[in-house]
């Protein structure tokens, strides 16, 4: 019997959705949900988590943006306008990239090496310091950008050309890959996602905290 549960798989999938929603927010508005962003960044430095939720600070409130996004994207009851094709594309590409990087090994080893050095920076500057975000972005650029499928982020030119925002987006894409690797680790699969969609939705609903504000439409998402 598997040591991993449906909750483990759902939490990891929520992590992918949270990173994807934050990429969309940054690319289109230049703003970001601070708690959700910090949670995604910190997930990159959790190399010995005690549980799947521990990757995200061991607090379900840290992943509410991801919970809301998953429910809006995957629910069969949701109106079609509440689904965002960009977020769906990011999620799928992150899953594919994670699997390819796992097979290639070398890029992942390089990423781990950079993150080890960056972890020392967090102790000096804090995990959201510009230098830390830039280092994580470099890990993505040097080791993931040339791996297919390349993730093309759509948004406002002014935001995408802003170096600080571009670094945050690359940082989030790497965090999304980290969540996708975790999802595979806890025995998540794309076929399983198709066949067990109802289980994922039920588990995500149980993790939902209604006092958190969620957008009525992901196309109109604002800072939480």
Residue in the block written with tokens 């894409």: 173
pLDDT tens-digit profile of 27-42? 999 999 999 999 999 9
Residue 93 has a CB neighbour count (10 Å cut-off) of 20
Q: If you average pLDDT over residues 156-168, what whole number do you get?
A: 97
Give Dmax over CA atoms of the chain in angstroms. 51
Q: What length does the chain have?
A: 224
List the chain domain ranges: 6-210
pLDDT at 218 over 70: no
Residue in the block written with tokens 């549960």: 5
pLDDT for 124 equals: 83
Report residue 48: phi and psi, to 5°: -135, 65
In three-state secondary structure terms, 89 is: helix
> What single string gives the DSSP state of each residue in 171-217?
HHHHHHHHHHHHHHHTT--HHHHHHTHHHHHHHHHHH--TTS---SS
* Domain boundaries 6-210, CATH class: mainly alpha
What is the C-alpha separation between 67 and 10, in angstroms, rounded? 9
Q: Please give the model's pTM, rounded to 2 decimal places.
A: 0.91
pLDDT at 219 over 50: no
């Amino acid at each position: 019997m598997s040591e991993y549960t449906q909750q483990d798989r759902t939490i990891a999938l929520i992590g992918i959705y949270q990173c994807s929603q934050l990429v969309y927010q940054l690319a289109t508005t230049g703003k970001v949900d601070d708690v959700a962003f910090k949670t995604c960044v910190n997930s990159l430095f959790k190399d010995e988590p005690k549980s799947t939720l521990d990757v995200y600070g061991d607090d379900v409130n840290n992943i509410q943006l991801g919970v809301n996004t998953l429910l809006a994207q995957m629910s069969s009851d949701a109106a079609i306008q509440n689904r965002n094709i960009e977020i769906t594309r990011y999620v799928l590409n992150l899953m594919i990239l994670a699997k390819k990087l796992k097979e290639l090994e070398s890029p992942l080893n390089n990423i781990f090496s950079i993150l080890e050095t960056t972890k020392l920076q967090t102790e000096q500057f804090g995990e959201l310091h510009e230098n830390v975000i830039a280092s994580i972005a470099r890990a993505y650029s040097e080791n993931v950008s040339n791996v297919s499928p390349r993730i093309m982020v759509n948004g406002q030119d002014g935001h995408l050309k802003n170096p600080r925002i571009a670094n945050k987006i690359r940082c989030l894409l790497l965090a999304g890959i980290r969540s996708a690797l975790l999802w595979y680790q806890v025995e998540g699969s794309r076929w399983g996602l198709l066949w067990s969609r109802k289980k994922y939705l039920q588990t995500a609903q149980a993790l939902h905290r209604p006092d958190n504000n969620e957008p009525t439409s992901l196309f109109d998402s604002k800072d939480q």
